[in-house]
Structure formats: C-alpha cells, structure tokens
Chains A and B, each alone.
Chain A
Amino acid sequence: MSEAVIAGTVVFVLASFVGFEVIAKVPPTLHTPLMSGANAISGITIVGAITAASLGSGTTASILGLLAIITATINVVGGFMVTDRMLEMFKRKPSPRSAQDEAGEA
C-alpha cells in the first residue's frame, strides 16, 4: 500500500473513534438536529467537487464536476440552514401565548 493510503486509513480510523465518542451520549431531543447537522458535514465532499471540476478536462468530467458541486452545495447549504431552523425552535422559551392567539395559524 502507498503511504498516502496508509496515512489516510490512520486518519479515517481515528476520526471514526472521535465521532463515536463525541456523539454517543446525545439526548434523544437532539437526534434530528444532530443527524441533519452531521448530514451537512458530509457535504464536505464539496471540496472534492471543486477540485474535480477545476482539474478535470473534457466535457464529461466538467459535467460530473458541475453536478457534484450542485448536489454537494444543496447538501451543505440546505443542511446547515435547516438545522439552524430547528435549533432556533429548541432555544425559544415557551411563550405565554394563549391557545386562541394561535388558532388562526393552525
């Protein structure tokens, strides 16, 4: 195996353990935001997409690069934004609004 692959494997295994340790005790209340935030992090592939689009030559490679950038950006931007939207709701203090105030909204 090449040194790069070995180094990559070391990084991968250690990062997985860090992931397990960091996430193992998250309370159920936060499971959905955690998942959608983690999901946004998996959009890190956007970095690869930009690299592939810039280094590639030929129409097929450019199309693949463009598709990769679009889908990765949807993942990143949408993922972080929707997580923030959810967490904003979690943070909000229970309002003393009465039931009637919200009848129109429901």
Chain B
Amino acid sequence: MIELSYLAAAVLFIVGLKRLGHPKTARSGNGLAALGMLWAVVVTLIDLGTVSWGIVIVGVVIGAVVGAVLARRVQMTSMPELVAAFNGFGGSASAFVALAETLRADPSTLSVETGITTVFSVVVGSLTLSGSFIAYGKLQGLIAGRPIGFAGTNAINLLVALTTLGVGVWATLAGTMLPYWILAGLGLALGVLAVLPIGGADMPVVISLLNSASGLAASSAGFVIGNSALIIGGALVGAAGLILSVLMSDAMNRSLANVLFSKFGGGDASGPSGDAASVKRATVEDVAIALGYADNVVVVPGYGMAVAQAQHALRDVAQSLEARGVSVTYAIHPVAGRMPGHMNVLLAEADVPYEQLLDLEESNPRFSQTDVVIVVGANDVVNPSARNDAGSPIYGMPILDVDNARTVVVIKRSLSPGFAGIDNPLFYQDNTMMLFADAKVALEGLVRAVANV
C-alpha cells in the first residue's frame, strides 16, 4: 500500500512540474507538487507506526519556521542565493539520511550495492551542501565573485576526487562506519574546490548543476533506504537541473566541462583597452531626449540591474515612455543575471507583463528596426566581440545584437570590463551613448527628465 501511496505523490510531482512549465498553470502546479509532498509525509508517518514524535515535531517546526522566514523575507534580487541555500539544505539532508541509515543497519551487514549508493549519497549530498554555500557566499559578495584558484587547482581536485573514489571502495568493502565519515568530509572538500574557481557570471550553470546534484543525492538516498518516492522525486529534479545546466552553457556557447574546469575569466581586470576619448558621455537629459522621441525602445537588463535594485525604476521609465506612445519591450539573454530566469523574476516583481519580455531569438531580428536600446547593467551579453573577434575569449557566444540599433544607451558605473575582463567595443561605437551612473539613480533621474522632454 505504501508503494501505491508514494506513486500518487510521484504523479502529483510530475503533473505539478508539467504545470510549472506554463505561465497560466504554474502556480497551481507548484501547489500540486506541495500537496504531493504533504501526502508523502503523511502516509510515511502512518506507515511507520512507531514514530519518534519528539524528534520529528522539533525538526519539522524548526525547519518550517526557518524555511518560511527565509522564503518571505528574501529580496527578489537575492533569489539566486536563496535557491543555492535551499539546494544545500536538501543535499545535506540526503547525506544525513544515508549516514543515519548506515549507522542503524550496521555497516558490516550492507550489501555491495547498498554500500555504493550510500557512498554516492554521502559524497554528492555533502558536495551539494558545501558547493551551494560557496555559491551563496559568492553571490552575497562574502567571497570574491571572480574565479579563485591557483596553479594546479585541477590537479588537486583530481587528487581529492581519486581519494574519494578510493575511500568509497574502502567503505563498500570494509563494513565499518569510519570511511563514511571520511567521505562526508571529502564531499565537503570537493564542493568547495569545485565551486571556488568558477566565476560569478557562470553562476547560472553552477546553481542549475547543484540543483541537479541535490536531486541525485535524494534519489540515491532512496536506494539506501529502499524508498521509491525518493528515487522518483530525486530523478525528476536531477533531470530538471541537468536540462537547465545544458541550456545555460549552450547560451554561452561553452560545454559544461569548460564552465566547470576552465577558470574562465581568470584574467586580472585590466583597464579598458579602447580609446577612452572616443567614448560619448551622455547626461540624463541627453538620454531622455533620445528616448522621448523614439518610436520603439528595447531594454536589455543584466546583473547590474539586480545589484542596483533598479527594476522598479526601470519599470517607471518604461511606463512614462509608454504614456508618450513609445513602444517598450525587453530583450532577455538566457544567462543575464546569476540564475536561469533571474531577470524575468525581477521584472515580474516590478509588474512588467511577461508578454513584453522577448528571448534572444525573438529579439535579435528586431534590433535593426529599433530606435533606442537601453543596456542596464549588462556587458558581456551585448559584446560584439563574441560575433566578430575570433581572438576573443567569448567568441561564438550568442549575444544580443544591440549594436545594430540606431542608438544604444549604456547605463554603467564605469568603463570597467565585465567578469571576463574583456573590453567591450560597443562602448566606443559612434551610435553608443554612455551614461556613467548607478543604474537606479540614473533611471530615477530618467523618469523625471522624460517628463520634461
């Protein structure tokens, strides 16, 4: 009976995920998945018969309060950090489950298969925990966002990985608890070593992968305790995370392996190499005039908009332009921001209708008929070097071809290059106006200036 009950939970998860894929049904999909979770917990409690109620109640109350507070308090701009943290908690829970089960069952009685799945959940679970919190630290600015590494990083990672493999073999053969504890430590080390060398702008891939890892950890914990709900739920999440990781690395024209191991963007942030004299500095008033007399305007948001919390000010500028009859749309690059869909969430928070958000394929053919493009806190995703400089590190990455527009306005704090340390020829073009300011301050100024045009 319990298996059939878990099957019902699994069906709710699958239908929920399916509905999460369409804007109109997404919210009910999330609700169905949550219902499946509640159902799985209730039937487990009934099926167990003797439950350690003290531990369960204390644990659920603490967890629910912490989770609810985090979910309610979080700023939408900090969503990538929160998802990273939740991934970490989920991964660690799977590692704890596998360890607790091994302790209970007495390691000397485990079959080789159970040993292998236990090793896997302990390592992947603890790796997800430490990797997620390193990602959290980078996103919060607690740890430098640039790739941190030193000569031989990959060699050390390989050594730790091989040691993990060796201890894993020991664990499955020895039948004692000690190697499992060591594996938890090695997993934590692997997570740190794997994520530290990855640059901030590659975070969309990292977070998707950690999402996938937390699912795989849950799935393997399901093998350890013989629970099909964990196996199915974990497999679904593993697949979802993997799809997003591949989509994100495709959007950068790089392989997953390249994102993980290449220390991309390791170069010291060198100064701008272009001729600073050819940069056209614009004032808020100049930009307001260009915008106010345009027929159509396309906004390209990037991570800088999130950092400056400028999404509301941006929406205000768009509304004042629309009030003048200017058509405003938004072009969203798949890896703009720090997690898949990051910009979409921020613009939704600011009440921008999602119909106005266009993806890369929809946007690019339109730029040649666009009067003004406003680039807010984006850099590498609009760098024409990706298209026409074969020597550039980002050559081949699909970009938004904003340089084809009649006028480009770039709102940016300085000429400093993006995460990759690559200069952006867009800034030196004749049709580019540079507005050097904090995005929020600049956009708030624009709202007033547009009203006076």
Contacts and interface: CB of A to CB of B under 8 A. Distances in A.
A76 B37 contact: yes
Contacts of B223: 5, 8, 12
A57 to B, nearest CB: 7
Chain B interface, DSSP helix/strand/loop, else mixed: helix
A42 B104 contact: no
Interface string B11-51: 00110111011110011011101101100110011001011
A42 B124 CA distance: 13
Interface residues of B, number: 122
Contacts of A37: 16-17, 20, 29-30, 33
Contacts of A36: 79, 82-83, 86
B23 A68 contact: no
B17 A19 contact: yes
A38 B243 CA distance: 12
Given A48-B222, A54-B48, A30 B58 contact: no
A76 B221 CA distance: 16
B233 A44 contact: yes
Nearest to A53: B55
Interface stretch (B234-242, B395-403, B405-413, B423-431): B234-242
Contacts of A47: 40-41, 44, 227, 229-230
Given A32-B79, A74-B67, A78-B68, A69 B14 contact: no
Interface stretch (B95-103, B134-142, B259-267, B280-288): B95-103
Contacts, number: 400
Interface stretch (B296-304, B350-358, B385-393): B350-358
Contacts of B56: 50, 53-54, 69
Contact of A52 (B58, B100, B208, B232): B100
B27 to A, nearest CB: 4
Chain A interface, DSSP helix/strand/loop, else mixed: helix
Contacts of B31: 84
Contacts of A75: 63, 67, 86, 89-90, 93, 214
A72 to B, nearest CB: 4
A31 B232 CA distance: 21
Interface of A: 1-2, 4-5, 8, 11-13, 15-20, 22-58, 60-62, 64-95, 97-99, 102-103, 105-106
20 contacts: A5-B113, A31-B340, A32-B83, A35-B244, A38-B240, A39-B86, A42-B87, A44-B37, A46-B41, A47-B40, A48-B227, A53-B55, A58-B103, A69-B55, A70-B62, A73-B64, A74-B86, A77-B71, A86-B345, A106-B312
The 4 A-B pairs at the shortest CB distance, nearest first, are namely: A73-B63, A19-B239, A69-B59, A78-B67
